[in-house]
Amino acid sequence: MTCYIAADHAGFTLKQQILAAYPNMINLGTNSLDSVDYPDFAQKLADRIQKDDFGILICGSGLGICMAANRFKHVRAANCISIEMAKLAREHNDANVLCLPGRVLSVAEALAIVEVFLITLFSKEPRYQKRIDKMLLF
């Protein structure tokens, strides 16, 4: 399993702090506070992520980068602002990309959410798998 991380300028600081805690993540940028467009970084991550990989994307609200990431058929991105949301995103939706709001969460909150997202397994309960399969038909 590989974990990629990317952010726009609004998520840069939080991305750097997550990388400090998880130095084995692969950093796809941005690497400064200079203004950039979040769809570019969602695409960079989507282009790299494979089966059994995870991704973390960060923008100011987590919303825009999540919308951009979900344009890719193999990405199931979830914008999570709590541990419970991260847990459910993995257990029920088999989310493979965690989106975070860089302007909303504290570093401690974000790190706790990342930890839960990375360790929680998809439940593989048939009702959840059936729903995920339906999304692949769109």
Instruction: Tell me the backbone φ, ψ of residue 58, rounded to 5 degrees.
Output: -135, 130
* Total Cβ atoms within 10 A of residue 6: 29
Catalytic-labelled residue, pool 59, 66, 80, 99: 59
Asked if 92 is an active-site residue, the reply is yes
Residue (of 70, 58, 60) closest to 18 by Cα position = 58
Which residue among the candidates 3, 9, 80, 92 is catalytic per the annotation?
Answer: 92
Q: Which residues of 102-115 are buried (b: 16+ CB within 10 A; e: fewer)?
A: beebeeeebbebbe
How far apart are the C-alpha atoms of 89 and 128, rounded to whole Å?
11
Residues tagged active-site: 59, 92
